[in-house]
A and B are shown apart, each in its own frame.
Chain A
Amino acid sequence: MIEKLDKIKRNFHAETKKVSTINDIEQLKIKYLGRKGIINDLMKIIPTLPSEQRSLFGQQINLLKTDVTNIIEEAHKRFHSESSSKVKKELFDITLPGKHPFIGKKHPLTQTIDDIKDVFARLGFDVAYGPEVELEYYNFEALNIPTDHPSRTDFDTFYIKNDVLLRSQTSTVQIREMEKKKPPIRIIAPGRVYRPDTVDARHSFMFHQVEGLLVDEGVSFADLKGVLNQFIKTYFGQDVQMRFRPSFFPFTEPSAEVDISCSICGRKGCSVCSYSGWVEILGAGMVDPNVFKAVHYDVEKYSGFAFGMGVERITMLKYCIDDIRLFYENDIRFLSQF
């Protein structure tokens, strides 16, 4: 039987030398390894053999099978690589466009608010919210803006009824938070505010603000500068310049307006910065003692600062958007850009 195997082996080697096409290999494979091939036929003999020969013969057949399989596979590979180098196949074009999964976008104003939250969260500020329909007291009196005071001119307001209005600023949240808690307080309050302004490229009767408040013992104007500097450099970039100007807000004393160097013209002067090289981005100041009195805080023990910024304004500056109405038209072609 062993001689029979040797003969088969010799024949196989002889035949492999004559192979010239991939088709020949296929034929050879069927002849030896196919279901009705030579090796399978040999397998069928095993049960007919005397039991002491079965094991040895089985091993021999398996060796032969491995040998044949390897040789055929090698030949296969050889022909494959030869054919692919000789015959020009279909071109695999890696420059065809990728298939993009369809992903939406957060509204640009949300993105700005998220960025602001992010910077201030790192500085330990929590996010606080308050009602948009608000008592007049929280929008005005508690913030040191008395009735019939000329500063109210800056705060024209939508009213619902006598002492109920749509908040014209997120500063209302300051009072509500301080009524709830004792210092230390560190919050930012993003939200919608409303003012009866006729809509044009720069004005909207509804817009967003983010208010900030920090109250503790020994808080100073220098700390206010530090915190806002941190925010502005993070949000607008390390190269941006910052300028603090004295200003007036009834609920802070001293009060400041903060300008940054105009990113559009690089301080050379353009229409965005009214040719001054600076653009105003937020109002801030040390919390006025009258505000602390309204919430029964000890004005000798505690001090604090507050700041407020317009989300639309900051977003417009960051992306050079020239019309505030775009935020509320929600044209997908606009939203998809951010």
Chain B
Amino acid sequence: MFWRTDIRRWPEFAEGVREQTTVTAGVAAWGLMTGVAMVAAGLSQLEAVLMTLLVFAGSAQLAVLPLLTAGAPLWVVLAAAFCVNLRFVVFSAHLRPYMMHQPLRQRLVTGYLTGDMSYVFFVRRYHAVGATLEAKQRQMAYLAGHCCVNYFSWMGASLLGVALAHTIPVAWGLGFAGILALIGVGCSLATSTLRVVAAGVAGAAAVAAFALPLKLHIVVAIAAAVAFCLLIEAHGPRALRPQPPIPPNPPSAP
């Protein structure tokens, strides 16, 4: 990763740094809001700092705040975070071939540090795995450049947000900026009709099931939306089915 000189010496590292700088303003603003939102939701500043430094996952942090402060059980908090982070599971399936030449510890560290922005830039730049070890290392250097800028701009802004949170009156409702950030990420995921349907079903189910104890309405809503969309994929109107249609016995992926 980016603290290793053998990674930084590749020109691809500087290239990644340069490109990530173009989105730094957005990342930093979102980090600032997340910092403020954590304290506004009721975490102490120490807890907010620890959460910033360790969890390093903006949307999951924002998503679990109402659960943490409502005293939801740990497994519900973790299930919610896991589901919000599920897109990273998909990303990791995509990135797997680029990673597997590294030892396990490096793979875990690289995964931990690769957020949405770094992933999006990486897969836009590289469409195939490097043929040689050197080519693979250069690809990792490019990714490390992105992760480096992303990490420090996020951490700096988020910690600043934690520090400033108490100077901003709670009545302003600035925590709502966190919800708006989640709305923005949600909109960026709305890339197909069925995904919009999933959001609608989950939102309606969450409101309808809100009275359930233990914040279970989140789990119920996700299960309802996923089940509904899988049913539509299989049996729904032709226009909503995925194009091209799913083969009945899908070939195993390479």
Q: Answer yes or no: are A and B bound together in one complex.
A: no
